[in-house]
């Protein structure tokens, strides 16, 4: 019934959408097979993209030529740059999205992508011939052939929804779960596991008293995700902050004896860093309140997302507790929170291209690999789409290094260390995070995306211009002499020591609280000079100048690391004698006795910090 495709992508979540778009743009004929075309790119949980480390991933996806940044920009209702008071490695863009518009924009964008066809049906199996994936089989028994298959089933494989003592089959509230695929993969020799995640209740915004909460505005001059010419927000919607209290906690505790987690009905491990409210109460028994973010779900809808109140306690307990939160006294629920358990496949069964080791031309991306989060899913989808396309066209694998991108860190962690709980990205996972900033993802990655045939020429030109401008501005700043008379009153007003003889502008920018904008305000000729350049280039130059020494050190470290990657550990070390190693690292290193630093670094439980310690110990 179907002609052969180049690539079939199963599932149109965040991973599947990026995979399909990327492979199609690179020239593959793609079929996106998904259960329900009305739920393409549904945000299963909170209607937000980005956040700490996750925002950096979205910027990287965008820089490579992916779509998530553009779609977010087009449909966001609030934008904030998190951690602006910290160093630039921590700056993290985050947007609140209009849930319906986000899904619609993704769908329309895919529809406009040449080479993407759609098929609405459940996929129930993979066609495998000679150890190679050659297509999929659907619930109607249709065989659709392709040269490669990308699985992005999200939380749908044998999904079970838990609320209190009740269990319902489903891949998401009100959606069917998917059957067949896990069973077949196990037969093929794959190892499968079980994980869980949860989501809070949705409430009716009309029933909340916002005047009793703290308003959280979007940024005054909102930035955005995409390096392309998307337009920043003109108007924004506010979020609100409130808190649980001990009364809330006491009520929640009355549901513990019916909790599917505490009573052991849920086998799968949940995300430790995204705990349910009952988890938080349990684990942090001494804390008498937890923060709740009250987030609108769109421009016009009254539906509200209660961030921080994920729960799978009985629905009546959820509601009763909710109504004890300040501002929620009369809250009406649209539906309770729930937990969902689903199958995943330990990602150590993958190559760094996200191709499975067992079945050639079969790729896994997204939550199926044990990750959690839209951004984590999206970037894996992008990488799987790229690699599937390259593979069937006999092109080189596309792998990003840990020093090149959070995406590289994520995939390296997954493939080499596996994960026992839902994996989400943190800045702390990236040893080179000073290099992996949201401001320079285009400089790091757009050239690679362009060479792949994914990022288009206009992106490349924009980056080239940014690089050029940045260099020019840096040179200018490092040269430009400032007279004490011109600058000292500004310095004093900022509480910074005055200069006694003339100094280069670049020198002053290195001072902690002195920014380029302060200097420009004081010295009109600098302001005039800078006005010729794009704001991005000026920012880039400022960061380069201000953090020069950190960045240089980090580059040196990165190159040393890549050298060390192959450094052979000749001596037999008694790791117990290195006190600075973590207990877990000592144990694992002793057990594995790695032959190289590279191997050591990939042992699960051995952190980048442990590797640094080891390197010091080895005198490197």
Ligand X SMILES: Cc1cc2nc3c(=O)[nH]c(=O)nc-3n(C[C@H](O)[C@H](O)[C@H](O)COP(=O)(O)OP(=O)(O)OC[C@H]3O[C@@H](n4cnc5c(N)ncnc54)[C@H](O)[C@@H]3O)c2cc1C
Binding site for a copy of itself (CB under 8 A): 1, 35-39, 42, 100, 104, 107-108, 111-112, 117-121, 139-142, 163-164, 166, 168, 173-176, 202, 204, 206, 300-303, 315-316, 319-320, 332-336
Question: Which tokens hold the place of 455?
Answer: 């990022």
* Residue 135, marked binder: no
Which residues is 203 bridged to in the sheet? 304, 333
Decide the pairing of beta strands 291-296 and 303-307. Answer: antiparallel
* Beta carbon of residue 137, minimum distance to a copy of itself (angstroms, whole number): 13
506 binds, among a copy of itself, ligand X, none (CB under 5 to 8 A by kind): none
Secondary structure (DSSP) of 290-302: -EEEEEESSSS--
Question: Which tokens hold the place of 158?
Answer: 């044998």
* Beta carbon of residue 428, minimum distance to ligand X (angstroms, whole number): 17
340 binds, among a copy of itself, ligand X, none (CB under 5 to 8 A by kind): ligand X
If the CB atoms of residues 13 and 218 are measured against ligand X, the closer one turns out to be 13
Mark residues 356-395: x for contact with ligand X by CB under 6 A, - for none: ----------xx----xxx--x------------------
* Beta carbon of residue 319, minimum distance to ligand X (angstroms, whole number): 18
Instruction: Assess contact for 98 and 77: CB atoms under 8 A.
Output: yes
Query: To which H or E segment does residue 202 belong?
Result: strand 202-204
* Residue 27, marked binder: no
How many residues touch ligand X under the rule CB under 6 A: the total is 37
Distance CA 158, CA 368 (A): 12
Instruction: Assess contact for 239 and 293: CB atoms under 8 A.
Output: yes
* Residue 11, marked binder: yes
608: three-class secondary structure by DSSP: helix
Q: Give alpha helix (H) positions in 421-495.
A: 441-452, 457-479, 484-493
* Residue 280, marked binder: yes
* Beta carbon of residue 312, minimum distance to ligand X (angstroms, whole number): 10
* Residue 273, marked binder: yes
Q: Which of 92, 141, 120 is nearest to 35 (CA)?
A: 120
CA–CA distances in Å: residue 318 to residues 148, 297, 332: 45, 20, 11
If the CB atoms of residues 140 and 396 are measured against a copy of itself, the closer one turns out to be 140
If the CB atoms of residues 14 and 237 are measured against ligand X, the closer one turns out to be 14
Q: Is 33 in the site for ligand X (CB under 6 A)?
A: yes
* Beta carbon of residue 593, minimum distance to a copy of itself (angstroms, whole number): 52
536: three-class secondary structure by DSSP: helix
Q: Which of 310, 299, 326, 301 is nearest to 205 (CA)?
A: 301
* Beta carbon of residue 1, minimum distance to a copy of itself (angstroms, whole number): 4
Q: Which of 36, 207, 416, 488 binds ligand X (CB under 6 A)?
A: 36
* Residue 316, marked binder: no
Binding piece for ligand X, criterion CB under 6 A, among 196-204, 430-438, 470-478, 585-593: 196-204
Binding piece for ligand X, criterion CB under 6 A, among 29-37, 90-98, 346-354, 548-556: 29-37
Q: Which of 25, 29, 40, 35 is nearest to 2 (CA)?
A: 29
* Residue 283, marked binder: yes
Instruction: Assess contact for 405 and 56: CB atoms under 8 A.
Output: no
Query: To which H or E segment does residue 30 belong?
Result: strand 30-34
* Residue 270, marked binder: yes
77 binds, among ligand X, a copy of itself, none (CB under 5 to 8 A by kind): none
Q: Is 154 in the site for ligand X (CB under 6 A)?
A: yes
Q: Is 198 in the site for ligand X (CB under 6 A)?
A: yes
Q: Which of 70, 80, 76 is nearest to 21 (CA)?
A: 70
Let me know the angle formed at the C-alpha of 298 by 296 and 300, rounded to the nearest 5 degrees: 105
Q: Is 100 in the site for ligand X (CB under 6 A)?
A: no
Q: Which of 100, 126, 340, 520 binds ligand X (CB under 6 A)?
A: 340
Let me know the angle formed at the C-alpha of 429 by 405 and 103, rounded to the nearest 5 degrees: 60
Distance CA 485, CA 266 (A): 69
Distance CA 101, CA 203 (A): 19
* Beta carbon of residue 139, minimum distance to ligand X (angstroms, whole number): 8
Q: Is 156 in the site for ligand X (CB under 6 A)?
A: yes
* Residue 13, marked binder: yes
- In sequence order, the 6+-apart residues with CB closer than 8 A to the CB of 583 are none
* Beta carbon of residue 312, minimum distance to a copy of itself (angstroms, whole number): 12
* Residue 16, marked binder: yes
Binding-site positions: 11-16, 270-284
Residues that bind ligand X (CB under 6 A): 10-16, 33-36, 39, 44-45, 122-123, 152-156, 171-172, 178, 181, 197-199, 274, 340, 366-367, 372-374, 377, 424
Binding-site positions for NAD(+): 270-284
Binding-site positions for FAD: 11-16
């Amino acid at each position: 019934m179907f002609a052969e495709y180049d690539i079939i992508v199963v599932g149109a979540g965040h991973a599947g959408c990026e995979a399909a778009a990327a492979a199609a743009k690179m020239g593959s004929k793609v079929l996106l097979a998904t259960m329900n075309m009305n739920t393409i790119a549904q945000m299963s949980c909170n209607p937000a993209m980005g956040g700490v480390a996750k925002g950096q991933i979205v910027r990287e996806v965008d820089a490579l030529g992916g779509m998530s940044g553009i779609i977010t920009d087009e449909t966001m209702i609030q934008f904030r740059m998190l951690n602006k008071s910290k160093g630039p490695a921590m700056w993290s863009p985050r947007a609140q999205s209009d849930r319906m518009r986000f899904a619609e924009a993704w769908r329309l964008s895919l529809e406009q992508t040449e080479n993407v066809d759609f098929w609405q049906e459940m996929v129930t199996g993979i066609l495998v011939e000679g150890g190679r994936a050659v297509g999929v089989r659907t619930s109607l028994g249709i065989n659709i052939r392709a040269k490669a298959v990308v699985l992005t089933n999200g939380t749908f494989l044998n999904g079970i929804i838990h609320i209190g003592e009740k269990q319902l089959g489903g891949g998401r509230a009100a959606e069917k779960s998917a059957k067949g695929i896990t069973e077949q993969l196990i037969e093929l020799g794959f190892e499968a596991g079980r994980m869980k995640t949860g989501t809070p209740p949705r409430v009716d915004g009309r029933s909340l008293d916002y005047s009793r909460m703290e308003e959280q505005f979007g940024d005054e001059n909102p930035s955005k995700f995409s390096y392309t010419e998307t337009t920043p927000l003109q108007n924004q919607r506010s979020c609100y902050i409130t808190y649980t209290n001990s009364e809330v906690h006491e009520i929640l505790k009355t549901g513990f004896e019916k909790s599917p987690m505490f009573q052991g009905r849920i086998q799968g491990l949940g995300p430790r860093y995204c705990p349910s409210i009952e988890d938080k109460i349990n684990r942090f028994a001494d804390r008498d309140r937890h923060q709740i973010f009250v987030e609108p779900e769109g421009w016009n809808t009254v539906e509200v997302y209660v961030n921080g109140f994920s729960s799978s306690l009985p629905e009546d307990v959820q509601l009763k507790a909710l109504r004890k939160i300040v501002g929620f006294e009369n809250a009406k629920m649209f539906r309770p929170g729930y937990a969902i358990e689903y199958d995943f496949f330990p990602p150590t069964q993958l190559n760094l291209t996200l191709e499975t080791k067992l079945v050639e031309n079969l790729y896994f991306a997204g939550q199926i690999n044990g990750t959690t989060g839209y951004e984590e899913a999206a970037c894996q989808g992008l990488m799987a789409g790229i690699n599937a396309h390259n593979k069937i066209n006999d092109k080189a694998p596309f792998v990003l290094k840990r020093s090149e991108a959070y995406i590289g860190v994520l995939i390296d962690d997954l493939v080499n260390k596996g994960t026992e709980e839902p994996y989400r990205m943190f800045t702390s996972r990236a040893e080179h995070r000073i290099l992996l900033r949201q401001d320079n993802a285009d400089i790091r990655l757009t050239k690679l995306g362009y060479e792949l045939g994914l990022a288009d020429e206009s992106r490349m030109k924009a980056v080239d211009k940014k690089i050029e401008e940045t260099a020019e501005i840096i040179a200018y700043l490092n040269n430009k002499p400032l007279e004490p008379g011109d600058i000292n009153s500004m310095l004093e007003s900022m509480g910074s020591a005055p200069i006694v003889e003339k100094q280069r502008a670049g020198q002053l920018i290195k001072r902690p609280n002195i920014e380029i904008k302060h200097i420009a305000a004081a010295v009109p000729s600098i302001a005039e000079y800078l006005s010729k350049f794009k704001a991005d280039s000026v920012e880039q130059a400022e960061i380069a100048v201000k953090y020069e020494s950190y960045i240089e050190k980090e580059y040196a470290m990165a190159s040393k690391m890549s050298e060390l990657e192959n450094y052979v550990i000749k001596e037999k070390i008694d790791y117990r004698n290195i006190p600075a190693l973590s207990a877990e690292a000592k144990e694992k290193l002793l057990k594995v006795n790695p032959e190289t630093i590279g191997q050591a670094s990939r042992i699960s439980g051995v952190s980048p910090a442990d590797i640094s310690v080891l390197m010091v110990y080895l005198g490197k």
